Amino acid sequence: MTERSLQVTYRKGRPFAGYLYLSRATGETSARTEASADALLIVDYAADGRPIGVEITAPDAATLDRINALLERLGQPLLPEQEFRPLTAA
């Protein structure tokens, strides 16, 4: 089992993309994806329908409130401020 973690990709010292890995079985992969209306947040789902990750396509436009609203809809624990900070770095 892997725990939730945030991975941020940087380009020229600025956040370029992010991926919030949600708790899941080790090696579990996405069976389907669902994008928000503006494609800022893309949710990956396991074969059984559980959310296993959230792609953040534009970190500069993502807000903690928006990510937490999505996590709440997905029935996931909210992201604390300190875990969100890497998306706003640089």
Residue 90 has pLDDT above 70, yes or no: no
- Measure Cα distances from 3 to 12, 15, 20, 57 in Å: 29, 22, 10, 21
Q: What is the pLDDT of residue 47?
A: 95
Of 51, 56, 55, 54, nearest in space to 24 by CA: 51
Give the domains, in start order, of the chain with CATH numbers: 5-75 (3.30.390)
Convert the pLDDT of each residue in 44-81 to its tens digit.
999 999 999 999 999 989 999 999 999 999 999 999 99
Convert the pLDDT of each residue in 20-35 to its tens digit.
999 998 889 999 999 9
Instruction: Outline where DSSP puts E strands in 22-60.
Output: 32-35, 41-45, 51-56
